[in-house]
Homo-oligomer: A and B are copies of this chain.
Amino acid sequence: MPASSPAPVTSSPDVHPVRGYSETKDKLNARLARVEGQVRGIQRMVEEDRYCIDVLTQISAVQAALDKVALKLLDDHANSCVIGAEPDQQAERTTELMSAVARLMRRG
């Protein structure tokens, strides 16, 4: 990563695709804020010496919420940034998408 120049991420969609989640940005961040609150809740549970199994149940709930966010992001991305890409970019973006899927399946 260059140290002297700022990375122009969103301003050059031809070089680097824009994010495909603009419409649902508020919804996404509302969900993520809820996840953040859940993680804070888990810390409180640990602080209060709550039973391990109950803590684990909350961790599973956070995982489920994050998987849901990830699936939404994947879907938005596939619809906007893969399908919507220039033909010569579609293959590359598909590869990128599949790498993200592999990481979400814990195989990346």
Contact = CB atoms under 8 A, between A and B. Distances in A.
A25 to B, nearest CB: 6
Contact of A101 (B17, B71, B79): B71
Identical chains in the assembly: 4
Judged by DSSP, the binding face of A is helix
Interface in A61-100: 62-64, 66-71, 73-79, 81-83, 90-91, 94-100
Interface residues of A, number: 70
Contacts of A104: 56, 59-60, 63, 101, 105
A75 B98 contact: yes
Given A9-B51, A40-B36, A52-B81, A46 B21 contact: yes
